[in-house]
Amino acid sequence: MKQSKFILPIIVISQFCCTSLWFAGNGVMSDLIVNFNLETSALGHLTSAVQFGFILGTLVFAIFTIADRFSPSKVFFSCALLGSLFNVGVIWDGNSLTSILSLRFITGFFLAGIYPVGMKIATDYYEKGLGKSLSFLVGALVIGTAFPHLAKEMTGTFAWKSVIILTSSLAVIGGLLMLIMVPDGPYRKPANKIDLSACFDIFRNRKFRSTSFGYFGHMWELYAFWAFIPVILKTYTVQHPEVVFNIPLLSFLIIGIGGLACVVGGYLVGIAGTKRVAIISLILSCACCLLSPLFFMSASESLFIAFLLFWGMVVIADSPLFSTLVAQNVSAEIKGTALTIVNSIGFFITIISIQLLNFLQNLMNPTYIYTLLAIGPILGLIALYDNNNELKQV
């Protein structure tokens, strides 16, 4: 028991350090545009490049059951080291849009050995209270994702390259912590051979399939919202010229507060149950999507920020809960593969929603485009509701 209490903080810290690679490009986007003569549409492309890399990485990891066949801590460390190396490559002065996209893509590929593998490590240590443990872990992911925006604000008087170097350094530290201080967990059941069909067969399980579809709906909204937070804030200032926002700091707060929401959600599970808390969070984030035009047009500055902070909480609070449900509905020897393939599909969906917003922001009033993010939560809720009906009929 003492070991479990000691292990979770190390996993959380490592996850935070390594996932800071995720939005490293977004945190210095304005500098990348100026220094490399990029178009403003580069925001969507660079974010999608990381997502594409992550999708390919998770697909490779899932098909070859890497997280189940090899020591997860060693996989985590190797990917943290390689991810940090390609992340820091962005600071090269000779970069072009193509080379930056390539570097971000490869960084995303190695993030596949960090985020889902970190959750796999947690499942190897915590059989009871898994929802609460994964809530801390995803909370670390959220803070890590938001950190580049804060780093940009903190290092505003220095070159933008310091943000990239800082995130790469943190990733190395996080990888080392995991390698040195987190051995294989007591509940780990390693797979003995490659099972190329495992990542497809698990979808025959109705409960697993329903939970996964709920997660996919959540993902349609999540990363598009995160990626466009600076754009949302800028759009508001254009419509309200008297308002001046500290966009890097606010972006960090709006994303980062989701980490607190994950922890709170983990504790609420003990009261209301994992699935119910996930559904409530999905309903609330869906409402935020649909109500967003009202806050753009009529809300005061303080009310608008409060709305975005609330949205930042409910948009992510269900993520660790869906991961918990996924892990609970598969056998121990394929938990890593299950978490990885669900991540792979979920992040593929984020590409579509991010590129959709990227395409529409110049074609229609940006005040209304975020209502389209409600499509995901609505479909996710339908999948969860249908499964409940099926179970009642059995």
Percent of the chain at pLDDT exceeding 70: 91
Higher pLDDT, 127 or 252: 252
Between helices 247-272 and 274-298, what is the axis angle to 10°? 150
pLDDT band at residue 239 using 50, 70 and 90 as cut-offs: confident
pLDDT tens digits, residue range 347-365? 889 889 988 998 888 888 8
Share the mean pLDDT of the chain: 85
Q: Which of 25 and 227 is assigned the larger pLDDT?
A: 227
Nearest to 17 by CA among 143, 152, 131: 143
pLDDT at residue 105 is higher than 80: yes
Query: The tokens of 71 are what?
Result: 């020591």
Quick check: is 65 in a domain? yes
Question: Is 188 inside any structural domain?
Answer: no
Tokens 């419509």 belong to which residue? 239
Q: Model pTM greater than 0.85?
A: no
For 329-353, write each residue's pLDDT tens digit. Answer: 887 777 777 888 888 899 889 889 9
In a domain, 70, yes or no: yes
Band (2; pLDDT cuts 50, 70, 90) = very low
User: Does 313 score more than 60 pLDDT?
Assistant: yes
- CA distance linking residue 168 with residue 178, whole number of Å: 16
Q: How many structural domains comprise the chain? A: 1
Q: What is the pLDDT of residue 59?
A: 87
AA identity, residue 89: G
Tell me whether residue 189 is in a domain: no
Contacts of 393 (CB under 8 A, 6+ apart): none
| Structural domain for 233, as ranges | 2-183+198-393
Residue 329 resides in a domain: yes
- Residue 156: pLDDT band with limits 50, 70, 90: low
Residue 191 lies in a domain: no
Q: Which conformational region is residue 194 in: left (phi greater than 0), alpha (psi within -120 to 50 degrees), or beta?
A: beta
Residue 310 domain-assigned?
yes
**190 in any annotated domain:** no
With a CB cutoff of 8 Å and minimum separation 6, the contacts of 147 are 16, 20, 23, 27, 167, 170, 252, 256
What's the pLDDT at 197? 65
Q: What is the pLDDT of residue 266?
A: 87
Task: Render pLDDT for 55-75 as a digit per residue (tens, 0 to 9).
Answer: 899 888 888 888 788 889 999
For the domain that residue 97 is a member of, what is the CATH number? 1.20.1250.20
